[in-house]
Amino acid sequence: MTVNWVALLQVFGATLLATVVVVTLFVLGIRALSGDKKVPAYASFAGCVAVVLYGLSLIVF
Amino acid sequence: MDPALVVIIVVITALIFDFTNGFHDTANAMATSIATGALKPRTAVALSAVLNLVGAFLSVEVAKTISGGIVDDAQITPAIIFGGLVGAIMWNLVTWYVGLPSSSSHALFGGLIGAAWVASGVDAIHFAKVVDKVLVPAIVAPLVAGLVAAIATIVVYRLKKAADPRVSHTGFKVGQVASASLVSLAHGTNDAQKTMGIITLALITSGSLAPGSGPPTWVIVSAGLAIALGTYLGGWRITHTMGRGLTTIEPAQGFAAQTSTATAILASSHLGFALSTTHVASGGIMGSGLGRDRHGVRWGTMGKMAAGWLLTLPAAGTVGALAGKWASSGTTGVIGVAVIGSAVSIGIWLLSRREPVKPEHIVDEVAAQAELHKVAA
Protein backbone atom coordinates (compact mmCIF):
# COMPACT_ATOMS: atom_id res chain seq x y z
CA MET A 1 0.00 0.00 0.00
CA THR A 2 1.73 3.16 -1.17
CA VAL A 3 0.72 6.66 -0.24
CA ASN A 4 1.88 9.39 -2.56
CA TRP A 5 3.37 11.69 0.08
CA VAL A 6 5.05 13.86 -2.53
CA ALA A 7 1.65 14.79 -3.98
CA LEU A 8 0.36 15.65 -0.50
CA LEU A 9 3.43 17.77 0.13
CA GLN A 10 2.75 19.55 -3.16
CA VAL A 11 -0.79 20.31 -2.03
CA PHE A 12 0.57 21.73 1.22
CA GLY A 13 3.31 23.78 -0.47
CA ALA A 14 1.03 25.15 -3.17
CA THR A 15 -1.69 26.00 -0.66
CA LEU A 16 0.71 27.75 1.71
CA LEU A 17 2.51 29.73 -0.99
CA ALA A 18 -0.58 30.80 -2.95
CA THR A 19 -2.60 31.70 0.15
CA VAL A 20 0.13 33.71 1.85
CA VAL A 21 0.94 35.61 -1.37
CA VAL A 22 -2.72 36.42 -2.07
CA VAL A 23 -3.61 37.55 1.46
CA THR A 24 -0.41 39.58 1.84
CA LEU A 25 -0.95 41.40 -1.46
CA PHE A 26 -4.57 42.03 -0.52
CA VAL A 27 -3.74 43.50 2.91
CA LEU A 28 -0.98 45.64 1.40
CA GLY A 29 -3.57 46.87 -1.10
CA ILE A 30 -5.94 47.80 1.73
CA ARG A 31 -3.13 49.59 3.58
CA ALA A 32 -2.24 51.57 0.45
CA LEU A 33 -5.90 52.42 -0.04
CA SER A 34 -6.09 53.68 3.58
CA GLY A 35 -3.22 56.06 2.82
CA ASP A 36 -5.00 57.15 -0.38
CA LYS A 37 -2.17 55.73 -2.50
CA LYS A 38 -4.33 54.55 -5.38
CA VAL A 39 -1.70 53.22 -7.78
CA PRO A 40 0.09 50.84 -5.35
CA ALA A 41 -3.32 49.75 -4.05
CA TYR A 42 -4.64 48.78 -7.46
CA ALA A 43 -1.31 47.17 -8.35
CA SER A 44 -1.63 44.93 -5.26
CA PHE A 45 -5.22 43.96 -6.06
CA ALA A 46 -4.23 43.26 -9.67
CA GLY A 47 -1.45 41.04 -8.29
CA CYS A 48 -4.04 39.01 -6.34
CA VAL A 49 -6.17 38.56 -9.44
CA ALA A 50 -3.10 37.52 -11.45
CA VAL A 51 -2.10 34.86 -8.90
CA VAL A 52 -5.65 33.44 -8.83
CA LEU A 53 -5.92 33.36 -12.64
CA TYR A 54 -2.50 31.75 -12.91
CA GLY A 55 -3.54 29.05 -10.42
CA LEU A 56 -6.77 28.36 -12.31
CA SER A 57 -4.91 28.22 -15.62
CA LEU A 58 -2.64 25.52 -14.15
CA ILE A 59 -5.72 23.42 -13.42
CA VAL A 60 -7.53 23.97 -16.72
CA PHE A 61 -4.60 23.59 -19.14
CA MET B 1 -34.09 -6.17 -15.46
CA ASP B 2 -32.68 -4.69 -18.67
CA PRO B 3 -29.16 -3.35 -17.85
CA ALA B 4 -29.83 -0.21 -19.89
CA LEU B 5 -32.81 0.56 -17.68
CA VAL B 6 -30.71 0.10 -14.53
CA VAL B 7 -28.12 2.51 -15.97
CA ILE B 8 -30.85 5.10 -16.54
CA ILE B 9 -32.00 4.64 -12.93
CA VAL B 10 -28.40 5.04 -11.73
CA VAL B 11 -27.97 8.23 -13.78
CA ILE B 12 -31.14 9.74 -12.32
CA THR B 13 -30.22 8.67 -8.78
CA ALA B 14 -26.68 10.02 -9.19
CA LEU B 15 -28.06 13.36 -10.31
CA ILE B 16 -30.38 13.39 -7.29
CA PHE B 17 -27.34 12.69 -5.10
CA ASP B 18 -25.52 15.56 -6.81
CA PHE B 19 -28.49 17.79 -6.10
CA THR B 20 -28.48 16.84 -2.39
CA ASN B 21 -24.72 17.40 -2.37
CA GLY B 22 -25.20 20.98 -3.57
CA PHE B 23 -28.07 21.30 -1.14
CA HIS B 24 -25.81 20.17 1.69
CA ASP B 25 -22.70 22.12 0.77
CA THR B 26 -23.85 25.65 0.01
CA ALA B 27 -22.80 26.20 3.59
CA ASN B 28 -19.12 25.52 3.00
CA ALA B 29 -18.63 28.24 0.50
CA MET B 30 -20.97 30.89 1.76
CA ALA B 31 -21.30 30.39 5.53
CA THR B 32 -18.62 32.88 6.51
CA SER B 33 -19.81 35.54 4.03
CA ILE B 34 -23.38 35.24 5.25
CA ALA B 35 -22.30 35.24 8.90
CA THR B 36 -20.34 38.49 8.57
CA GLY B 37 -23.06 40.14 6.50
CA ALA B 38 -20.77 40.47 3.44
CA LEU B 39 -23.44 38.87 1.26
CA LYS B 40 -27.19 38.51 1.57
CA PRO B 41 -28.13 34.82 1.82
CA ARG B 42 -30.05 34.78 -1.49
CA THR B 43 -27.29 36.53 -3.43
CA ALA B 44 -24.73 34.26 -1.81
CA VAL B 45 -26.42 31.04 -2.88
CA ALA B 46 -27.14 32.29 -6.42
CA LEU B 47 -23.48 33.27 -6.86
CA SER B 48 -22.35 29.98 -5.39
CA ALA B 49 -24.64 28.01 -7.73
CA VAL B 50 -23.24 29.67 -10.87
CA LEU B 51 -19.64 29.16 -9.74
CA ASN B 52 -20.26 25.51 -8.90
CA LEU B 53 -21.49 25.04 -12.45
CA VAL B 54 -18.37 26.72 -13.87
CA GLY B 55 -16.13 24.68 -11.55
CA ALA B 56 -17.66 21.45 -12.86
CA PHE B 57 -16.12 22.18 -16.25
CA LEU B 58 -12.61 23.02 -15.05
CA SER B 59 -11.26 19.55 -14.25
CA VAL B 60 -12.14 15.85 -14.56
CA GLU B 61 -9.31 14.41 -12.43
CA VAL B 62 -11.51 13.54 -9.46
CA ALA B 63 -14.13 11.96 -11.74
CA LYS B 64 -11.39 9.72 -13.15
CA THR B 65 -10.31 8.72 -9.63
CA ILE B 66 -13.82 7.44 -8.97
CA SER B 67 -14.62 5.87 -12.34
CA GLY B 68 -11.22 4.30 -12.81
CA GLY B 69 -9.78 3.29 -9.48
CA ILE B 70 -11.47 2.79 -6.16
CA VAL B 71 -13.59 -0.21 -7.18
CA ASP B 72 -12.96 -2.92 -9.78
CA ASP B 73 -15.25 -2.09 -12.71
CA ALA B 74 -15.13 -5.68 -13.96
CA GLN B 75 -16.66 -7.02 -10.74
CA ILE B 76 -19.54 -4.66 -10.10
CA THR B 77 -22.83 -3.93 -11.84
CA PRO B 78 -24.98 -0.82 -12.24
CA ALA B 79 -27.40 -2.32 -9.68
CA ILE B 80 -24.64 -2.37 -7.02
CA ILE B 81 -23.77 1.26 -7.80
CA PHE B 82 -27.46 2.06 -7.41
CA GLY B 83 -27.49 0.50 -3.93
CA GLY B 84 -24.40 2.48 -2.91
CA LEU B 85 -25.97 5.71 -4.11
CA VAL B 86 -29.15 5.11 -2.16
CA GLY B 87 -27.06 4.55 0.98
CA ALA B 88 -25.25 7.82 0.39
CA ILE B 89 -28.44 9.79 -0.21
CA MET B 90 -30.09 8.42 2.95
CA TRP B 91 -27.10 9.44 5.08
CA ASN B 92 -26.92 12.86 3.44
CA LEU B 93 -30.58 13.57 4.11
CA VAL B 94 -30.44 12.42 7.73
CA THR B 95 -27.39 14.56 8.54
CA TRP B 96 -28.94 17.48 6.66
CA TYR B 97 -32.10 17.18 8.74
CA VAL B 98 -30.16 17.04 12.01
CA GLY B 99 -28.00 19.99 10.90
CA LEU B 100 -24.70 18.13 10.96
CA PRO B 101 -22.18 19.16 8.30
CA SER B 102 -21.06 15.64 7.47
CA SER B 103 -19.42 14.92 4.17
CA SER B 104 -21.48 14.09 1.08
CA SER B 105 -18.33 12.74 -0.49
CA HIS B 106 -17.61 10.31 2.29
CA ALA B 107 -21.24 9.25 2.22
CA LEU B 108 -20.79 8.47 -1.45
CA PHE B 109 -17.54 6.55 -0.97
CA GLY B 110 -18.97 4.71 2.03
CA GLY B 111 -22.11 3.75 0.11
CA LEU B 112 -20.21 2.61 -2.96
CA ILE B 113 -17.58 0.64 -1.03
CA GLY B 114 -20.17 -0.97 1.26
CA ALA B 115 -22.34 -2.03 -1.68
CA ALA B 116 -19.41 -3.39 -3.72
CA TRP B 117 -17.95 -5.20 -0.73
CA VAL B 118 -21.12 -7.05 0.27
CA ALA B 119 -22.43 -7.73 -3.23
CA SER B 120 -19.17 -8.70 -5.00
CA GLY B 121 -16.70 -9.49 -2.24
CA VAL B 122 -13.69 -7.74 -0.82
CA ASP B 123 -11.68 -8.21 -4.05
CA ALA B 124 -13.93 -5.71 -5.83
CA ILE B 125 -12.42 -2.86 -3.83
CA HIS B 126 -8.99 -1.41 -4.53
CA PHE B 127 -8.05 -0.57 -0.97
CA ALA B 128 -4.62 0.81 -1.89
CA LYS B 129 -6.25 3.39 -4.13
CA VAL B 130 -8.92 4.15 -1.52
CA VAL B 131 -6.20 4.87 1.06
CA ASP B 132 -4.02 6.91 -1.31
CA LYS B 133 -6.69 8.99 -3.05
CA VAL B 134 -9.46 9.18 -0.42
CA LEU B 135 -8.56 8.28 3.18
CA VAL B 136 -5.18 9.99 3.55
CA PRO B 137 -6.29 13.19 1.75
CA ALA B 138 -9.40 13.15 3.99
CA ILE B 139 -7.15 13.63 7.01
CA VAL B 140 -4.40 15.72 5.45
CA ALA B 141 -6.43 18.27 3.47
CA PRO B 142 -8.40 19.74 6.42
CA LEU B 143 -5.16 19.94 8.44
CA VAL B 144 -3.41 21.71 5.55
CA ALA B 145 -6.31 24.13 5.13
CA GLY B 146 -6.41 24.73 8.91
CA LEU B 147 -2.68 25.31 9.31
CA VAL B 148 -2.45 27.59 6.28
CA ALA B 149 -5.57 29.48 7.39
CA ALA B 150 -3.99 30.05 10.82
CA ILE B 151 -0.82 31.44 9.21
CA ALA B 152 -2.81 33.56 6.75
CA THR B 153 -4.96 34.95 9.57
CA ILE B 154 -1.89 35.93 11.61
CA VAL B 155 -0.38 37.65 8.54
CA VAL B 156 -3.62 39.50 7.80
CA TYR B 157 -4.13 40.69 11.38
CA ARG B 158 -0.49 41.84 11.75
CA LEU B 159 -0.50 43.80 8.51
CA LYS B 160 -3.95 45.31 8.78
CA LYS B 161 -3.16 47.14 12.02
CA ALA B 162 -1.67 50.00 9.99
CA ALA B 163 -4.79 50.31 7.83
CA ASP B 164 -7.76 52.64 8.33
CA PRO B 165 -10.39 50.47 10.12
CA ARG B 166 -13.22 51.71 7.89
CA VAL B 167 -11.31 51.02 4.68
CA SER B 168 -10.21 47.61 5.92
CA HIS B 169 -13.74 46.66 7.06
CA THR B 170 -15.19 47.38 3.60
CA GLY B 171 -12.10 45.99 1.88
CA PHE B 172 -12.22 42.64 3.64
CA LYS B 173 -15.92 42.29 2.99
CA VAL B 174 -15.13 42.52 -0.72
CA GLY B 175 -12.18 40.15 -0.26
CA GLN B 176 -14.42 37.74 1.54
CA VAL B 177 -16.94 37.64 -1.28
CA ALA B 178 -14.10 37.04 -3.76
CA SER B 179 -12.61 34.24 -1.68
CA ALA B 180 -16.06 32.68 -1.06
CA SER B 181 -16.54 32.65 -4.81
CA LEU B 182 -13.26 30.79 -5.20
CA VAL B 183 -14.42 28.23 -2.67
CA SER B 184 -17.60 27.67 -4.70
CA LEU B 185 -15.56 27.25 -7.84
CA ALA B 186 -13.24 24.82 -6.06
CA HIS B 187 -16.29 22.94 -4.81
CA GLY B 188 -17.46 22.43 -8.39
CA THR B 189 -14.04 21.05 -9.34
CA ASN B 190 -14.18 18.43 -6.59
CA ASP B 191 -17.79 17.60 -5.71
CA ALA B 192 -19.51 17.80 -9.08
CA GLN B 193 -16.79 15.43 -10.28
CA LYS B 194 -17.89 12.72 -7.90
CA THR B 195 -21.28 12.38 -9.58
CA MET B 196 -19.62 12.43 -12.99
CA GLY B 197 -17.33 9.66 -11.78
CA ILE B 198 -20.25 7.54 -10.55
CA ILE B 199 -22.24 7.93 -13.78
CA THR B 200 -19.13 7.19 -15.83
CA LEU B 201 -18.51 4.11 -13.68
CA ALA B 202 -22.08 2.92 -14.29
CA LEU B 203 -21.62 3.41 -18.04
CA ILE B 204 -18.35 1.46 -17.94
CA THR B 205 -19.81 -1.44 -15.92
CA SER B 206 -22.74 -1.72 -18.34
CA GLY B 207 -20.34 -1.80 -21.29
CA SER B 208 -21.45 1.55 -22.80
CA LEU B 209 -17.99 3.05 -22.27
CA ALA B 210 -14.53 1.53 -22.46
CA PRO B 211 -12.76 0.99 -19.10
CA GLY B 212 -10.57 3.99 -18.25
CA SER B 213 -12.75 6.50 -20.14
CA GLY B 214 -13.31 10.02 -18.84
CA PRO B 215 -16.83 11.40 -18.39
CA PRO B 216 -18.71 12.19 -21.65
CA THR B 217 -19.82 15.80 -22.17
CA TRP B 218 -23.49 15.17 -21.38
CA VAL B 219 -22.43 13.74 -18.04
CA ILE B 220 -20.32 16.82 -17.21
CA VAL B 221 -23.14 19.20 -18.16
CA SER B 222 -25.89 17.37 -16.27
CA ALA B 223 -23.76 16.88 -13.14
CA GLY B 224 -22.80 20.58 -13.16
CA LEU B 225 -26.44 21.64 -13.52
CA ALA B 226 -27.67 19.30 -10.78
CA ILE B 227 -25.16 20.53 -8.20
CA ALA B 228 -25.82 24.16 -9.14
CA LEU B 229 -29.57 23.71 -8.73
CA GLY B 230 -29.10 21.96 -5.39
CA THR B 231 -26.81 24.73 -4.20
CA TYR B 232 -29.34 27.35 -5.16
CA LEU B 233 -32.25 25.67 -3.43
CA GLY B 234 -30.74 24.41 -0.23
CA GLY B 235 -28.49 24.69 2.71
CA TRP B 236 -30.01 27.20 5.12
CA ARG B 237 -30.15 24.68 7.90
CA ILE B 238 -26.45 23.81 7.81
CA THR B 239 -25.31 27.35 7.10
CA HIS B 240 -26.74 28.01 10.52
CA THR B 241 -24.20 25.71 12.27
CA MET B 242 -21.20 26.53 10.09
CA GLY B 243 -21.48 30.30 10.13
CA ARG B 244 -22.16 30.82 13.80
CA GLY B 245 -21.64 27.68 15.82
CA LEU B 246 -17.96 27.05 15.27
CA THR B 247 -16.24 30.32 16.03
CA THR B 248 -17.08 34.00 15.68
CA ILE B 249 -15.95 35.22 12.31
CA GLU B 250 -14.79 38.66 11.19
CA PRO B 251 -14.53 39.57 7.49
CA ALA B 252 -10.70 39.60 7.55
CA GLN B 253 -10.68 36.19 9.15
CA GLY B 254 -13.31 34.81 6.77
CA PHE B 255 -11.18 36.04 3.91
CA ALA B 256 -8.07 34.24 5.21
CA ALA B 257 -10.02 31.04 5.97
CA GLN B 258 -11.64 30.87 2.57
CA THR B 259 -8.54 31.68 0.59
CA SER B 260 -6.74 28.74 2.17
CA THR B 261 -9.79 26.46 1.81
CA ALA B 262 -10.18 27.26 -1.89
CA THR B 263 -6.49 26.80 -2.61
CA ALA B 264 -6.30 23.50 -0.73
CA ILE B 265 -9.32 22.11 -2.61
CA LEU B 266 -8.16 23.33 -6.02
CA ALA B 267 -4.67 21.89 -5.54
CA SER B 268 -6.15 18.56 -4.39
CA SER B 269 -8.67 18.41 -7.26
CA HIS B 270 -5.83 18.91 -9.71
CA LEU B 271 -4.08 15.81 -8.34
CA GLY B 272 -7.27 13.74 -8.39
CA PHE B 273 -7.76 13.63 -4.61
CA ALA B 274 -11.45 13.11 -3.97
CA LEU B 275 -11.84 14.95 -0.71
CA SER B 276 -14.58 16.24 1.47
CA THR B 277 -15.00 19.92 0.78
CA THR B 278 -17.01 20.10 4.00
CA HIS B 279 -14.06 18.92 6.07
CA VAL B 280 -11.62 21.23 4.34
CA ALA B 281 -13.88 24.24 4.86
CA SER B 282 -14.32 23.39 8.53
CA GLY B 283 -10.55 23.00 8.86
CA GLY B 284 -10.08 26.44 7.32
CA ILE B 285 -12.57 28.10 9.65
CA MET B 286 -11.06 26.39 12.70
CA GLY B 287 -7.51 27.31 11.72
CA SER B 288 -8.37 30.94 11.20
CA GLY B 289 -10.14 30.99 14.57
CA LEU B 290 -6.96 29.72 16.20
CA GLY B 291 -4.87 32.24 14.26
CA ARG B 292 -6.97 35.09 15.59
CA ASP B 293 -7.42 33.94 19.12
CA ARG B 294 -6.16 30.71 20.65
CA HIS B 295 -9.24 30.53 22.84
CA GLY B 296 -11.68 31.48 20.09
CA VAL B 297 -12.70 28.01 18.94
CA ARG B 298 -15.62 26.10 20.38
CA TRP B 299 -14.05 22.68 20.76
CA GLY B 300 -17.34 21.15 21.91
CA THR B 301 -19.05 21.92 18.60
CA MET B 302 -15.92 20.71 16.82
CA GLY B 303 -16.00 17.42 18.69
CA LYS B 304 -19.60 16.79 17.69
CA MET B 305 -18.73 17.52 14.07
CA ALA B 306 -15.72 15.21 14.12
CA ALA B 307 -17.90 12.42 15.52
CA GLY B 308 -20.30 12.93 12.62
CA TRP B 309 -17.38 12.76 10.20
CA LEU B 310 -16.13 9.47 11.64
CA LEU B 311 -19.60 7.97 11.48
CA THR B 312 -20.14 8.88 7.83
CA LEU B 313 -18.12 6.14 6.10
CA PRO B 314 -19.39 3.19 8.16
CA ALA B 315 -22.98 4.47 8.38
CA ALA B 316 -23.35 5.15 4.66
CA GLY B 317 -21.39 1.96 4.03
CA THR B 318 -23.87 -0.13 6.00
CA VAL B 319 -26.92 1.32 4.28
CA GLY B 320 -25.11 1.04 0.94
CA ALA B 321 -24.22 -2.59 1.64
CA LEU B 322 -27.82 -3.56 2.43
CA ALA B 323 -29.21 -1.65 -0.53
CA GLY B 324 -26.48 -2.93 -2.88
CA LYS B 325 -27.01 -6.55 -1.89
CA TRP B 326 -30.74 -6.31 -2.39
CA ALA B 327 -30.57 -4.32 -5.64
CA SER B 328 -28.07 -6.76 -7.18
CA SER B 329 -30.46 -9.68 -6.54
CA GLY B 330 -32.70 -8.72 -9.47
CA THR B 331 -35.57 -6.56 -10.66
CA THR B 332 -37.57 -6.81 -7.43
CA GLY B 333 -34.51 -5.72 -5.46
CA VAL B 334 -33.91 -2.64 -7.59
CA ILE B 335 -37.57 -1.64 -7.35
CA GLY B 336 -37.65 -2.34 -3.60
CA VAL B 337 -34.56 -0.20 -2.93
CA ALA B 338 -35.98 2.60 -5.08
CA VAL B 339 -39.32 2.55 -3.25
CA ILE B 340 -37.81 2.50 0.26
CA GLY B 341 -35.24 5.15 -0.67
CA SER B 342 -37.93 7.46 -2.03
CA ALA B 343 -40.18 6.91 0.97
CA VAL B 344 -37.43 7.79 3.46
CA SER B 345 -36.43 10.86 1.40
CA ILE B 346 -39.98 12.15 1.22
CA GLY B 347 -40.44 11.46 4.94
CA ILE B 348 -37.41 13.53 5.90
CA TRP B 349 -38.38 16.29 3.53
CA LEU B 350 -41.86 16.44 5.07
CA LEU B 351 -40.39 16.49 8.60
CA SER B 352 -38.10 19.35 7.61
CA ARG B 353 -41.07 21.35 6.31
CA ARG B 354 -42.54 21.41 9.80
CA GLU B 355 -39.91 23.80 11.11
CA PRO B 356 -38.30 25.38 8.08
CA VAL B 357 -35.22 27.55 8.51
CA LYS B 358 -35.78 30.37 6.04
CA PRO B 359 -33.16 32.78 4.69
CA GLU B 360 -34.93 35.59 6.54
CA HIS B 361 -34.23 33.98 9.92
CA ILE B 362 -30.55 33.91 9.18
CA VAL B 363 -30.45 37.53 8.08
CA ASP B 364 -31.94 38.63 11.39
CA GLU B 365 -29.42 36.72 13.45
CA VAL B 366 -26.57 37.90 11.28
CA ALA B 367 -27.61 41.50 11.73
CA ALA B 368 -27.57 41.05 15.49
CA GLN B 369 -24.14 39.51 15.31
CA ALA B 370 -22.75 42.29 13.08
CA GLU B 371 -23.79 44.80 15.74
CA LEU B 372 -21.65 43.01 18.30
CA HIS B 373 -18.66 43.23 15.98
CA LYS B 374 -19.08 46.97 15.51
CA VAL B 375 -19.13 47.54 19.25
CA ALA B 376 -16.08 45.36 19.73
CA ALA B 377 -14.15 47.20 17.00
Compute the Cα dihedral for B236, B238, B240, B242 and give only its sign: negative
Q: Tell me the average pLDDT across B102-127.
A: 88
pLDDT at B57 over 80: yes
Q: How confident is the model at residue A10 (pLDDT cuts 50, 70, 90)?
A: very high
Least confident of B251-260, B280-289, B301-310: B301-310
Question: Among residues 183-212 of chain B, which lie with CB inside 8 Å of chain A?
Answer: 185, 189
Q: Per-residue DSSP letters for A1-61?
A: ----HHHHHHHHHHHHHHHHHHHHHHHHHHHHHHTT-HHHHHHHHHHHHHHHHHHHHHHH-
8 Å CB contact between B100 and B237: no
Q: How confident is the model at residue B43 (pLDDT cuts 50, 70, 90)?
A: confident
Domain boundaries, chain B: 3-376
Q: ipTM of this model?
A: 0.93
Does residue A52 lie within any of the structural domains?
A: yes
Cα(B290)–Cα(B258) distance, integer angstroms? 14
From first CA to last CA, the distance across chain B in angstroms is 66
Say what the pTM is: 0.84
Query: Which residue in B58, B131, B159 is closest to A60 by CB distance?
Result: B58
What distances in angstroms separate CA B198 from CA B17, B151, B216, one per listed residue? 10, 37, 12
Does residue A12 lie within any of the structural domains?
A: no
The residue with greater pLDDT, B351 or A23, is A23
Query: Which residue in B145, B155, B167 is closest to A23 by CB distance?
Result: B155
Please state whether B216 falls in left (phi above 0), alpha (psi between -120 and 50) or beta: beta
Query: Which residue in B127, B152, B268 is closest to A20 by CB distance?
Result: B152
pLDDT at B46 over 60: yes
Does residue A8 lie within any of the structural domains?
A: no
Contact B271 A23 (CB under 8 A): no
Query: Which residue in B137, B145, B266 is closest to A59 by CB distance?
Result: B266
Q: Which domain holds residue A46?
A: 22-61
**For an interface test with B, which of A26, A28, A44, A48 has the most B Cβ atoms less than 10 Å from its Cβ?**
A26
Does residue A2 lie within any of the structural domains?
A: no
Q: How confident is the model at residue B357 (pLDDT cuts 50, 70, 90)?
A: low
The whole-angstrom distance between A1's CA and the closest CA on chain B is 5
pLDDT at B238 over 60: no
Q: How confident is the model at residue B355 (pLDDT cuts 50, 70, 90)?
A: low
Mean of the per-residue pLDDT values of chain B: 82
Q: How many CB pairs under 8 A join A and B?
A: 107
Residues 6+ apart with CB under 8 A from B217: none
Does residue A31 lie within any of the structural domains?
A: yes
Q: How confident is the model at residue B264 (pLDDT cuts 50, 70, 90)?
A: very high
Does residue A11 lie within any of the structural domains?
A: no
Does residue A9 lie within any of the structural domains?
A: no
The domain total for chain A is: 1
Does residue A6 lie within any of the structural domains?
A: no
Cα(B148)–Cα(B356) distance, integer angstroms? 36
